Amino acid sequence: MHMTFFWGKDVEILFNDWPNGKLGMYILALAFLFVLAVAIEFFSVFTTINSRPYTIVGGLTQAFVYGLRMTLAYLVMLSVMSYNLGVFIVVVVGHTTGFFLMNNSNVILWETYPNQSRSHSLPTYYFSLFKPPTCVIDNLEKIRRRFLWGDSENVSKIHWISWDKVLASKQLGGLGVGSLTAQNDALLLKWWWRLKNEDHSLWCEVIKSIHNLHNNKSVTQIAKNLSMVLGVTLLRSPIAATAAHRIPFSEYIQ
């Protein structure tokens, strides 16, 4: 909803004696536009604001910034219709600067949902160190299924494609979303690859000394020496099942 002021030879809209040469009329009109824009923007995002104080303050802040931008935009219109070149140049420069400084894509005023970079980095960090229980993986997959299908606690929509098809790679006709279990196994097995290729680094020497890995052992023998975090992961993986007792560790990693 945008409020536009138009005036002609004998036209008066919203304000008596509009327009005239008084500065107060311009200020009154711009103040009215600012309040209207703030109210519209705040109520448009009201459904995404919960009862927590910081989200309410964030919503008001975004509405305030939106009101400033709309007021500057209409000031441009007024300057053009008033044939005031100086005001037009100043407002255009100020509005352009404010757009880049206060653009919503560059400044996050509040976060209703977790930041995307943090939400992606946290599971990657934990998945690369630990083997989570099956119930944890199932709950995470459940959250992903609900998000993809648009389900909620009270609403269940039609699932036009099976979840296995969603997780399958694009080469196999799936959507390529990927399984969390496969991601977890891949991140854990990457440590085995680093253990072989970074054998002269300090952390590799420490791990080898603790678990007695200096000898060239098979995959199964090394897995039995390691802790549950990495050892059980490797023993359960399909790669280890085919490599055990047949392929030495060095050849398996390479």
pTM summary value: 0.41
How far apart, in Å, are the Cα atoms of 44 and each of 37, 111, 120, 153? Answer: 11, 16, 29, 24
Averaged pLDDT in 10-residue chunks for the chain of 254 residues:
39 46 67 76 65 65 76 66 58 60 46 44 75 86 81 72 83 83 85 81 82 61 50 48 42 40
The dihedrals phi and psi of 248, each to the nearest 5 degrees, come to -65, 165
> String of b and e for 45-70 (b: at least 16 CB within 10 Å)?
beeebeeeeebeebbbebbbbbbbbb
pLDDT score of 59 = 73
pLDDT score of 244 = 42
pLDDT score of 83 = 53
pLDDT score of 217 = 53
